[in-house]
A and B are shown apart, each in its own frame.
Chain A
Amino acid sequence: MRRREFLKLSAAGGAALVVGFRIDAEPSSFQPNGWVRIEPGGKIVLTVGKQEMGQGVRTSLPMILADELDADWQSIELLQAEPSPQFQRLGTGGSGSVYGSWKPLRTAGAAARTMLIGAAAAKWNVDAASLRTEKGFVINTKTNERLSYGALASDAAKQPVPAEPKLKAMSELRIVGQRVKKVDAPDVVSGKAIYGIDARMPGMLYASIERPPTVGGTLVKFDATKAMKVRGVRSVVAIKAGVAVVAENSWAAMKGREALAITWEPGPNRAFNSDAHIKALEAAASEPGVTIRKEGEGAAALARAAKTIEARYHYPFYAHAPVEPMNCVASFRDGTCELRVPTQAPNRAQQLVAEFLGIKPENVIVHPTLIGGGFGRRLWIDYAIEAAELSRAIANPVQVLWTRQDDMRHGHFQAASVHQLRAAFDENNAPLFWGHKKVSSYHNLRGAPTAQERADVEYNQDSAWGVYDVPYAFPSIEATYLSIDVPVPIGPWRAVFSPSSTFARECFVDEVAQHLGKDPLQSRLDMLGEPYDITAGSLKIDRTRLRRVLEVVREKSKWGSPLAQGRGRGVACNVYDGDTHIAYVVEVTAHENSVRVDRVVAAVDCGVVINPTGIEQQIEGGIIWGLSSALKGHITFRDGHAEQSTYRDFEVLRMNETPAIEIHIVPSHGEQPFGMGEPPVPPIVPAVVNAIFAATGKRIRALPIRL
C-alpha cells in the first residue's frame, strides 16, 4: 500500500510564474502532475488531483504550499485537476493525500519563492541573500522596499528552476500547525457548494434505474406502458445495469420506475445468503491459508507452549452509506463523453468509461465534483458507466441518481470475515507465539483473481492488512490469510480492509492479558518491547510512538481509577499503515441489553500536524464511524440481495449516542505528516468491546455488538 513520491520541478513560461511538480510517480518518467501558478494579479492557483470528500484536503494542501511559499494564505485557490495526459494518477484514498503531497508541495513552494526572490534581486540589482519574503511580498531587508509576488511573476518565470530548493526549517513554518477553518465552509452553510448531485448540464434529463433484484441477475423483458404514462417520463431504456427511466425530473423518473413491469432471471446467486457464507468462512478457518508473515519458528513454536490461548472473532458485511447517494451527470455527443461526477478515482472513471463506450480515454472528459462522503465507495466507477451508457442511448445529457435503497442494495461492501487468534506463552508467561488467521473474500478493486494470484503472498497481503502488522513482540509469529469467494461486490471502506483484523487483534490482546492476570493497558506496554522499530510484513512499526500514545491515554483517562457499578474502561491501539499511531481509552455503561459509550479519550501521533482542527475532525468522525459499526447496523444478504434499504434498517450512530470525545495530539518526532482520514477507525471498535468486558465480564466476539 506504500505510496511513493518523486519530485522534480519544471517551469512554464508566460506572464504567470508556473512551477510544476509531481506527486505519486515512478522516478523514470517525470511529468508534472501538480502546478503552482502565480498570476500577475497576485492570485495563486494550486492545481492538484486530490478530491475533497470531507477530509479537508482543499484546506490542508494549500496551507502547506502557502507556508513554504510565504504566500498570503487567503490568496491561494485550489483548482481540481482533471484527467489528462498530465494527470494520469489522480485519486484519493488510503489516507495518502497529505502524506504524499507534503514534500512535493513544499519543494514547489520553495522553488517558486527562490525564483521570485531571484527576479526581485535582478530588478533591484542586489544580492538575493539580502532579500526576504513575507505574505506574498519580496522585501529588501536594507531598504524595506517591497514587491508583490504578482508584480514579480512574469520576471520570475524567466528565472532558472532551482534543482534542489532549500526548504524552510520546521521551526520557520508559520501556517502549518495553525488552526485554519475549512475553505469551503461559507459555501457549505449557504447551500452553494456544488456536489455531484447538484451538477447540471443544459438540456439535462434525470434518470432512475431499476436493477436486478439479485446480484448477477439479468433482464428477461420489461413493459414500460404504465411507466410512460407517468407525468414527466420521457423514455425507458434497457442498459447493462438494468432498466432506466428517463424523465424531466428525478421524481418522475422514480415514479416511472415504480410503474415498470419487469421479468428478471435471478441468475446463479439467487440463493446466496450471508449466514451460509459466514458458515463457509467458519469451516475454512481450520484450513491452511497463505502465510503472509512468519517470524521465528511460526506455529511450530506452539510445541513448547505452557499456555495457549485461542479465540475466534466474527466481522459482518457493512455498507458505506454516504449521505449523498451515487450519482453522475453524463453527456455523450459526437463520440465524446463529458462527466460531472463525485469520484475518488477520476482517471479510473475516464479509463473505464472509455473502455465501456469503446472510445479513446482522451475523449472522456471528467470533471470531479465535491463529494458528499466517499469512504472508499467512490473508488468504484459503476454509476459513471451507467450515466455514460444512458446518455449515449438517449442522445441527451442525463443525470443518473441512485436512491438510498439502490445505494444499500448495490453497494461494494466491506467483507465479512472470521478471525482465528492464538497466543502462546512459556511457563514463565514469557511470549512465545502469536498467530492470526483471517478468512474473508478478497478485498480488492481488480476483479476475479487468477490461480497464481490466489497463491501469491503479495496479492493476499492487501486483504490481510491488520493481520500481519501486529505490533507486539512475540519471538514467533504466523499471519495467514484464506479467501472464500463471494458473489456480492466487495470493496475498500473507511480504513480500507483493516478494521476487521484490528478488531480481532485488539480484542484478543485483551483476552490474553486477562489469562495472564495482567492489566490490559500495562500488558500492551509490556508486549511492545525491543527492538523499538520493526518491520511487520511490508509495514514499519514504531513501538516508541505506540507506547507513548498508550501512556498518554493511560494518564488522561485516569486509567485504573474506580468506576461505578455497570461501567467499564477499555483500551486499544493501532499503527495505521505504518504511519499514524493511535490509542483509545473508552468508558461505557452497560446494563441488561444496552450499552452506552460515555467517553472516548484519544491520543494520536500523526507526525507533523498541518491543521489541528482537521485532525480533531477526522478523529471525531472516525470514532463515530467506528461506533456505528460496533453498535448499529450491518448488512445481511438473503435470496441473493442485501436485506437493508435505508438508515432505518442499516442504522448509523446519531447525536444522542455520541460520547464525549477528548483528543490529545501527541508531539511527534520526525518531519513527515501522516494520514488522518482512516486511522481513527480501526482501534475504536475493540476499545468498546474491551470496555464492555470490563463493565460486565462478557466477551463480545462478533459485530455488531449485541449484549
Chain B
Amino acid sequence: MRYSITINGSAKSVDVAPDMPLLWILRDVLGMTGTKFGCGVGVCGACTVLQNGEAVRSCQIAASDANGKRFTTIEGLSRDASHPCQRAWIAEDVAQCGYCQAGMIMTACALLRDKPNPSDADIDAVMSDLVCRCGTYPRIRKAIHLAAKLGAQK
C-alpha cells in the first residue's frame, strides 16, 4: 500500500505494509535514524515523535494510521541544534550514552507546548513514562526548566 506521510514538513510517499509502524518507516524506509528503537511495545519512549505537537510513540502507529498525518522527528526540530530543548540539553549536559535522548527531547517539546512553565511535578508526570538506563533523569528535569526559560525568551 502507498501512504502519504508528512515528516518535518516534507511530504513522503511510502509503499509499505499497512501495519508497519512509523518507527520502521522512518528508520528503515526513509533512512532517518534519529528516532530510536528501544522496546517496540510503547513502554520505553525512545521512539517518541510529535504528531501535531503531541508526543506519540512511533512504534505504536501503523502506516495506515499515519497516512495523511504530519509528524516531527528529532531531525526536524532545528537545522543547527538551536531549538530551546536542544540548547537546554547541551547546556545542562544531559546526555550520557545519548541513545534515549531523542525520545526525551520530543516528549519535552510536547510538554512545554501544553505547559510552557512546568513544575517538577508536571515534568515527572510526563517524563516518567520514558526509560533512560544511564540515569540522566535529574539533568533532563533541569534541562526542561531551562528550555522553558529559553522558549519564553524567544
Contacts and interface: CB of A to CB of B under 8 A. Distances in A.
A binds B: yes
A252 B17 contact: yes
Interface residues of A, number: 65
B135 A373 contact: no
B128 A189 contact: no
Contacts of B141: 655
Interface string B8-29: 0000000011011100100111
A198 B46 CA distance: 14
A646 B43 contact: yes
Contact of A371 (B97, B101, B129): B97
Given A54-B98, A323-B38, A404-B39, A621 B136 contact: yes
A188 interface: yes
A159 interface: no
A194 interface: yes
A471 interface: no
B100 interface: yes
Given A323-B46, A620-B136, A191 B35 contact: yes
Contacts of B51: none
A589 interface: no
A684 B141 CA distance: 22
Interface string B63-92: 000000000011101100100011001100
Residue of B89, B131, B135, B140 contacting most chain A CB atoms (<10 Å): B135
Interface in A54-101: 54-56
B82 to A, nearest CB: 10
B33 interface: yes
A559 interface: no
Nearest to A618: B96
B138 A620 contact: yes
A182 B130 CA distance: 22
B36 A372 contact: yes
A403 interface: yes
A88 B60 CA distance: 43
A150 B85 CA distance: 37
A197 B138 contact: no
Given A191-B32, A193-B98, 12 more contacts: A181-B90, A186-B81, A186-B90, A188-B101, A200-B31, A250-B28, A255-B19, A323-B38, A323-B100, A620-B139, A621-B134, A654-B128
Contacts of A323: 36, 38, 44, 46, 97, 99-100, 131-133
A653 B41 CA distance: 18
Interface of B: 16-17, 19-21, 24, 27-29, 31-41, 43-44, 46, 73-75, 77-78, 81, 85-86, 89-90, 93-102, 105, 123-125, 127-141
A325 B123 contact: no
Contact of A191 (B75, B93, B125, B140): B75
A251 B98 contact: no
A125 interface: no
Most interface-central of B97, B98, B102, B128 (chain A CB within 10 A): B97
A319 to B, nearest CB: 10
Given A624-B137, A655-B141, A613 B93 contact: yes
A617 interface: yes
A658 interface: yes
7 contacts: A54-B97, A185-B90, A197-B33, A251-B20, A255-B17, A372-B98, A653-B137
Contacts of B136: 617, 620-621
Given A190-B75, A192-B34, A620 B98 contact: no
B20 to A, nearest CB: 5
A654 B100 CA distance: 13
Contacts of B40: 254, 403-404
Contacts of A622: 135
A304 interface: no
A647 B93 contact: no
A252 B28 CA distance: 10
Contacts of B44: 323, 404, 646-647
B23 to A, nearest CB: 8
Contacts of B27: 250
Interface string A333-375: 0000000000000000000000000000000000000111111
Central interface residue in A55, A623, A646, by most chain B CB within 10 Å: A646
A652 interface: yes
A411 B21 CA distance: 26
Contacts of B101: 188-189
Given A232-B17, A323-B44, A621-B136, A191 B102 contact: yes
Nearest to A626: B135
A208 to B, nearest CB: 11
A193 B97 CA distance: 10
A625 B135 contact: yes
B3 to A, nearest CB: 14
Contacts of A375: 133
Contact of B28 (A249, A255, A654): A249
Given A185-B90, A323-B44, A652 B131 contact: yes
